[in-house]
Amino acid sequence: MTTTHGGAARRSTARLGAARLGAVTAVVGLLPALAACGGSGDEPGASAGSAASGTVTLVTHDSWAVSEDVLAAFEQQSGLEVKQVPAGDAGTLANQLVLTKDAPLGDVVFGIDNTFASRVIDAGVLDPYTPADLPESAQQYAVGDGGELTPVDMGDVCLNLDTAWFDEQGVERPETLEDLTKPEYRDLTVVTNPATSSPGLAFLLGTVGAFGEDGWQDYWQRLRDNGLKVDDSWEDAYYADFSGSGEGGQRPIVLSYATSPAFTVTDDGSASTTAAMLQTCFRQVEYAGVLQGAANPAGAQQLVDFLVSEAFQADVPGQMYMYPVDDTVELPADWQKFAPLAEQPFTVDPADVAEHREEWIEQWTQTVVG
């Protein structure tokens, strides 16, 4: 029985393709409704209602994707030209923005997540701006007090299982983080390094949320002693080591996303050959913001407006395999069955993340890598 691995594969393809191609330029226009709407931003030389023209540069993580027809609709309605500049994953993106604060890489950023949000806010990389039409359901994901970042999409980083492997081997499927330290699951798990991978950092924070600041290192020690493998990237973990990717991997437990099983369904659509461990999840939220010193701040504001518009939000599931922050958007039919969100994801206070992120990464490295 064959399966499709579209969600994970397309997320990987978007990231790797962008890295190979480098900066890509696409022409984008903005809908009249968005062009006309105002926001609550306050930056020099522009307002949300200002006419925008010329080029607006969007700096993104490498998984950024949007449908061509959505871009075409914008192109027909506005003269804005959007230069898309991929800059690595969320961690690399945040680092680049901080390092280039005095000579910004562009006008708008998309892809900063809640594991790195405090870093770019504290560094003064962003100008405050909040779209007037921000969906009500998005407001729960606000971070910081200044309105520098606008939530765009969200999803759960969770361990995933190759269910076919467990069925074939007659091994009971693990359900919890603690289960993975048991002898029967020795040498079965692969995760990603939090120093080099944003899902890896999200999972590290999930274990802090689960075991507390005094217990998470002991958990990782036990996980390491039970044969844990650590890869630098999600691609290596999912495609080289995960048995459920169909690429010859040998480990049936991998760190991925809760949406991944929606893209490993059987040909008839009746089942998925993978499943997310929904008791192991950390909720990841991705944000957009106007870069301080933007050459085209009016265009930047309008582009942020677009990212929370109905048209873009409806495009998010099929293109970036995340949940839109607008909960009125209709989701793909099989997501309810194969890609539900965790009912109780682990959380860490953003202030604690800001204070301890680098310390926790260093402690993780000493504990797991040595």
- DSSP 8-state class, residue 272: B
CB environment 335-363: b (16+ within 10 A), e (fewer): beebbebbeebbebeeeebbebbeebbeb
Buried-exposed string 313-333: b where 16+ CB fall within 10 A, e elsewhere: bbbbbebbbbbbbbeebebee
Predicted local distance difference test score (pLDDT) of residue 50: 46
Q: What is the pTM of this model?
A: 0.82
Dig out the tokens for 6 from the structure: 């579209």
pLDDT in tens, 298-345: 999 989 999 999 999 999 998 998 999 999 999 988 898 999 999 999
CA distance 144 to 151: 12
Closest among 123, 167, 172 to 148, alpha carbons compared: 123
Least confident residue range of 17-26, 214-223, 310-319: 17-26
Number of residues that this document lists for the chain: 370
Residue pair 108/59 in contact (Cβ under 8 Å)? The answer is: yes
Band of residue 273 on the pLDDT scale cut at 50, 70, 90 = very high
Q: Categorise residue 43: left if φ over 0, alpha if ψ from -120 to 50, beta otherwise.
A: beta
Count CB atoms within 10 A of the CB of residue 120: 24
Q: What is the reported pLDDT for 333?
A: 85
Of 145, 133, 176, 170, which is closest to residue 158 (Cα–Cα)? 176
Q: Give counts: helices (H), strands (E), the chain.
A: 13, 12
Strand partners, 25: 83
Q: Do domains 6-154+285-330 and 156-282+337-361 have the same CATH topology?
A: yes
CATH T-level topology, domain 6-154+285-330: D-Maltodextrin-Binding Protein; domain 2 (3.40.190)
Helix (H, G, I), strand (E, B) or coil at 230: strand
pLDDT at residue 102 tops 80: yes
- pLDDT at site 23: 29
The per-residue pLDDT for range 130-153, each reduced to its tens digit, is 999 999 999 999 998 899 999 999
Could you confirm whether domain 156-282+337-361 is CATH 3.10.450.50? no
- Cα–Cα distance, 291 to 293 (Å, whole number): 6
CA distances from 111 to 11, 122, 257, 287 (A): 13, 17, 16, 6
Among the listed ranges 65-74, 90-99, 275-284, which one has the minimum average pLDDT value? 65-74
Q: What residue ranges do the domains of the chain occupy?
A: 6-154+285-330, 156-282+337-361
